[in-house]
């Protein structure tokens, strides 16, 4: 099997999968396949499958679980997923990355948007073994999520990525909290244009605070601790400690109205 669990609600009709808890389970040995055109990488390895995929889920909890030896991502809370949690779990030895929240698509219907999810107190390591551009923790067109108290290490691209709109175009990513995470041994000099925490687009009220980041190494261009990329705006970046990076601890590509204060 490529996909081990699928929650298939219909948020556009108000038919949700609600209040299900997965606790103390091991999810192992999910497969991976390659298309007829061969291997084609994309940013964040968005085309990679997920072992656990949810659509239209609310109040679902993944707690004290293990995801390992699967060919793609571990968990994807996609269209219409609201107020779900991944807590106290371990994700390692994965073909792609850890947890994805939201989509690349901007949904006009609020019921189909992914909001207010939490990824807290998890350990993610040894990722990107098939898809090197995979992300430890990815947030797309999604708002009011919390990523906190996680350790993410030993992967070839970005540990935490927030946003999926390049430049100043409208998007649905705002008010996300990235805090108290320990991110280290990122990049490993394989890929370029990357950082431990990476953002895209206008994100009013998003906060990046109290994170410990170190040992971030790109192949050539990049290798930053905190990297607000194209159009990143309205973000508060404070009280972070960053050291041992290839380029700089902080790098702003272009953006506006960000507050960067009290970082070391």
Q: Residue 158: which of 102, 223, 202 has the closest Cα?
A: 223
Q: Report the distance separating Cα 122 and Cα 249, nearest Å.
A: 24
> How does pLDDT run across 138-154, given as a tens digit for each residue?
999 999 999 999 999 99
Q: Residue 203: which of 238, 150, 167, 242 has the closest Cα?
A: 167
Backbone Cα Rg of the chain: 17
DSSP string, 8-71: E-BGGGTB-EES-EEES-EEE-------TT-----TBTTTS-EEEEEESEES-EEES-EEES-S
SS (H, E, C) 207-239: EEECCEEEEECCCCCCCEEEEECCCEEEEEEEC
Q: How far is CA 98 from CA 2, 92, 186, in A?
A: 15, 8, 14
Listed in sequence order, the residues at least 6 apart from 135 whose beta carbon sits closer than 8 Å to its beta carbon are: 44, 45, 97, 98, 100, 157, 158, 159, 160, 161
pLDDT per residue as tens, the chain (264 positions): 999 999 999 999 999 999 999 999 999 999 988 778 877 778 999 989 999 999 999 999 999 999 999 999 999 999 999 999 999 999 999 999 999 999 999 999 999 999 999 999 999 999 999 999 999 999 999 999 999 999 999 999 999 999 999 999 999 999 999 999 999 999 999 999 999 999 999 999 999 999 999 999 999 999 999 999 999 999 999 999 999 999 999 999 999 999 999 999
What is the total residue count of the chain? 264
Instruction: Give residue for tokens 């998890």.
Output: 122
Cα 54-58-63 angle, rounded to 5 deg: 75
The Cβ of residue 2 has, within 10 Å, a number of other Cβ atoms equal to: 14
For CA atoms 43, 49, 51, 52, the dihedral sign is: positive
DSSP strand pairing (5-8 vs 50-55): parallel
> How does pLDDT run across 54-105, given as a tens digit for each residue?
999 999 999 999 999 999 999 999 999 999 999 999 999 999 999 999 999 9
For 120, the enclosing helix (H) or strand (E) is strand 118-120
Q: How far is CA 207 from CA 60, 139, 174, in A?
A: 25, 14, 9
70 contacts 28 by C-beta, under 8 angstroms? yes
Q: Report the distance separating Cα 145 and Cα 139, nearest Å.
A: 8
The stretches of 113-228 forming alpha helices (DSSP H) are none
Residue 15's pLDDT is 97
User: Running DSSP on this structure, what letter comes out for residue 250?
Assistant: B
How much is the pTM? 0.97
């Amino acid at each position: 099997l490529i996909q081990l669990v699928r929650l298939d609600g219909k948020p556009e009709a108000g038919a949700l999968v609600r209040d299900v808890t997965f606790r103390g389970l091991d999810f192992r040995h999910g497969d991976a396949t390659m298309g007829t055109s061969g291997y084609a990488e994309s940013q964040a390895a968005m085309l990679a499958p997920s072992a656990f995929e949810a659509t239209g889920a609310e109040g679902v909890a993944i707690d004290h679980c293990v995801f390992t030896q699967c060919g793609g991502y571990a968990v994807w809370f996609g269209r219409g997923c609201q107020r779900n949690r991944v807590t106290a779990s371990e994700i390692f030895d994965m073909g792609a990355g850890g947890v994805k929240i939201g989509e690349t698509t901007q949904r006009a219907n609020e019921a189909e948007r992914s909001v207010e999810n939490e990824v807290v107190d998890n350990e993610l390591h040894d990722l990107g073994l098939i898809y090197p551009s995979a992300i430890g923790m990815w947030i797309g067109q999604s708002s009011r999520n919390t990523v906190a108290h996680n350790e993410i290490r030993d992967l070839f691209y970005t540990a935490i990525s927030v946003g999926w709109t390049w430049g100043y175009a409208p998007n649905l990513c705002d008010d996300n909290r990235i805090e108290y995470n320990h991110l280290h041994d990122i990049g490993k000099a394989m890929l370029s244009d990357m950082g431990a925490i990476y953002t895209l687009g206008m994100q009013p009220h998003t906060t990046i605070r109290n994170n410990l980041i170190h040992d971030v190494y790109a192949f050539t261009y990049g290798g930053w601790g905190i990297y607000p990329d194209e159009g990143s705006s309205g973000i508060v970046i404070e009280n972070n400690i960053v050291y041992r990076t290839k380029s700089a601890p902080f790098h702003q590509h272009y953006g506006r109205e960000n507050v960067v204060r009290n970082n070391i």
